[in-house]
């Protein structure tokens, strides 16, 4: 599992975990370049909203394109850094990135495996909760797929399903 972001916290925190593809950006197959990134309506504002409400905003994303040999891990980090530069323009930020580069049928041997970090498994959420001392009972996972909601349920956080329209409006119904 890859991770990028702030250091471990001793204070108790609450978090909103965001899926990336199909939730924060228009889902194109194997997005790995900032120039191909198109924000979902209200996504930047949704992140700012949770920042302003005192939640950590944490990205948790399956990135099997690494295991499949389509792009290196560095591309995931580059997109994350670009996202934070764009978010900074409206006073928002993502606190951390956790990603799963694995897939059971990948082409790159180091990443071809069954792991506990690939959603719907909870490894990314578990690691973030440990690292940032997150109270799961006060936290959410926002995603567009059944595997995101299954991950939320298994991890003991409330799942929020994004379907279409403004992500900010969707989140305001819960938070």
Q: pLDDT digits over 124-133, tens only?
A: 999 999 999 9
Is residue 51 pLDDT above 80, yes or no? Answer: yes
Instruction: Enumerate long-range contacts of 23-31, CB under 8 Å, 24 or more apart.
Output: 23/142, 23/143, 23/144, 23/148, 23/162, 23/167, 24/59, 24/83, 24/167, 27/144, 30/65, 30/68, 30/70, 30/71, 31/79
Provide Rg for the chain, Cα atoms. Answer: 15
Instruction: Name the band, by pLDDT with cuts 50, 70 and 90, for residue 170.
Output: very high
Marked catalytic residue, from 10, 19, 29, 135: 19
Q: What is the DSSP letter of 7?
A: P
- How large a percentage of the chain has pLDDT more than 70? 94
Please, what are the domains in the chain?
A: 2-172 (3.40.50.1000)
This prediction's pTM: 0.94
Instruction: Name the band, by pLDDT with cuts 50, 70 and 90, for residue 11.
Output: confident
Question: Region 64-68: what's the mean pLDDT?
Answer: 97
What is the pLDDT, as a whole number, of residue 160?
Answer: 98
Marked catalytic residue, from 21, 75, 95, 144: 21
For residue 148, indicate whether it is catalytic. no
For residue 27, indicate whether it is catalytic. no
């Amino acid at each position: 599992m890859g991770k990028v972001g702030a250091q471990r916290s001793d204070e108790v925190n609450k978090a909103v975990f965001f899926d990336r593809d199909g939730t924060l950006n228009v889902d194109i197959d194997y997005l790995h370049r900032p120039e191909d990134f198109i924000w979902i309506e209200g996504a930047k504002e949704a992140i700012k909203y949770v920042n302003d409400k005192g939640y950590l905003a944490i990205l948790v994303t399956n990135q099997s394109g690494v295991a499949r040999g389509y792009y290196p891990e560095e591309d995931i980090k580059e997109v994350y850094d670009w996202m934070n530069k764009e978010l900074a323009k409206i006073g928002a930020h993502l606190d951390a990135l956790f990603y799963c580069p694995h897939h059971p049928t990948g082409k790159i041997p180091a990443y071809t495996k069954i792991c506990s970090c690939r959603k719907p498994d909870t490894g990314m959420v578990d690691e973030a909760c440990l690292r940032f001392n997150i109270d799961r009972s006060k936290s959410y996972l926002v995603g567009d797929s059944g595997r995101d909601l299954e991950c939320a349920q298994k991890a003991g956080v409330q799942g929020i399903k994004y379907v279409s329209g403004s992500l900010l409006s969707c989140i305001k119904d819960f938070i």
